[in-house]
Amino acid sequence: MSATVGYHGYYHASAECWSVYTEVLGVEYSDAVLWGQVHQLTVDTYAVQHAGGPHPDKSVGIHLSGLHLVLDRGVHPPLVPPMLQRLAAAIEIWPHFPPPESDRHITVWDVAVAASPQDHADTVRRWARQVWAAWTPYHANIAALVIRHASPHGQTRV
Ligand SMILES: [Zn+2]
């Protein structure tokens, strides 16, 4: 897990919360269905919920774009990372989106205590929709960035 340790330096997360997150990632790494269905949502939702403080605008913007692709465009989560890589390469200066206050009802802690893989997946989806809804004032900005720099082409289901 050493590749992810560095993130803790700039995510706006406590060490305790970060360790719960790494536990949740461990569960997803070891379950192929969870990996395919919700892992990308977990990564993007956790990052966006930890915007603020030292968290760079680029990271927040990329993970918001991931939520947009899955939740608004219906992109299958495993197809999202290459699109986010294209965005990361294409956009040099990211806009700053001040984080909303109201996205804290569901957290990674709720995912960590899920009773089954199905409950885990359902909780991640509820968590992702809650966080994405809290950022509604920026949905149009994010959609415009994605359309301009990383259009999903034929990969949407909408
Ligand atoms: Zn946290």
94 domain residue, yes or no: yes
Q: Which pLDDT score, from 0 to 100, does residue 9 have?
A: 62
48 domain residue, yes or no: yes
Helices (H), 6-56: 15-29, 32-49
157 CA → ligand 1 middle, Å: 32
Question: Per residue in 91-135, pLDDT tens?
Answer: 989 999 999 887 678 999 999 999 999 999 999 999 999 999 999
Q: How many angstroms separate the CA atoms of 142 and 148, rounded?
A: 10
Q: Which pLDDT score, from 0 to 100, does residue 35 have?
A: 93
How many domains, in total, are found in the chain? 1
pTM equals 0.88
Containing structural domain, residue 74: 2-151
Question: Per residue in 48-94, pLDDT tens?
Answer: 999 988 889 999 999 999 999 999 999 999 899 999 999 999 998 99
158 domain residue, yes or no: no
121 CA → ligand 1 middle, Å: 19
Q: Which pLDDT score, from 0 to 100, does residue 152 have?
A: 60
Question: CA-CA-CA-CA torsion for 146, 135, 78, 40, nearest 10 degrees?
Answer: 140
151 CA → ligand 1 middle, Å: 31
130 domain residue, yes or no: yes
12 CA → ligand 1 middle, Å: 7
Q: How many CB atoms lie within 10 A of CB 18?
A: 18
30 domain residue, yes or no: yes
45 CA → ligand 1 middle, Å: 11
104 domain residue, yes or no: yes
117 domain residue, yes or no: yes
147 CA → ligand 1 middle, Å: 30
